[in-house]
Amino acid sequence: MSTMFKAGDFFVRLRDQGDRPKLTIWNSRGTKIVSEFIGSATESFWAKIAELTSQEVVDRVQALLEGEQ
């Protein structure tokens, strides 16, 4: 799986990288602000992603991840 989408002012890529998905997020100026493997993501992980980006980004990524299972 490799998915890219725009959410608000952010560009998001979610792709398989071995056994774990990798989340990469850029702002509207093209600066990479997040590049993390998603293992067993905790609430604090998602809270930090929402703080750096937006809740819309978190919601869409979580929906994509749930759709895989």
Mind listing the pLDDT tens digit of every residue in the chain (69 residues)?
689 999 999 999 999 877 789 999 999 999 999 999 987 778 999 999 999 999 999 999 999 888 864
Q: How far apart are CA 54 and CA 16, in angstroms?
A: 22
Q: How many domains does the chain have?
A: 1
Q: Which has the closest alpha carbon to 68: 16, 4, 12, 6?
A: 16
Q: Please, which residues have CB within 8 angstroms of residue 58's CB and are 6 or more apart in sequence?
A: 46, 49, 50
Q: Name the residue range of residue 23's domain.
A: 2-68
Q: How far apart are CA 59 and CA 19, in angstroms?
A: 22
Residues 36/22, Cβ–Cβ less than 8 Å? yes
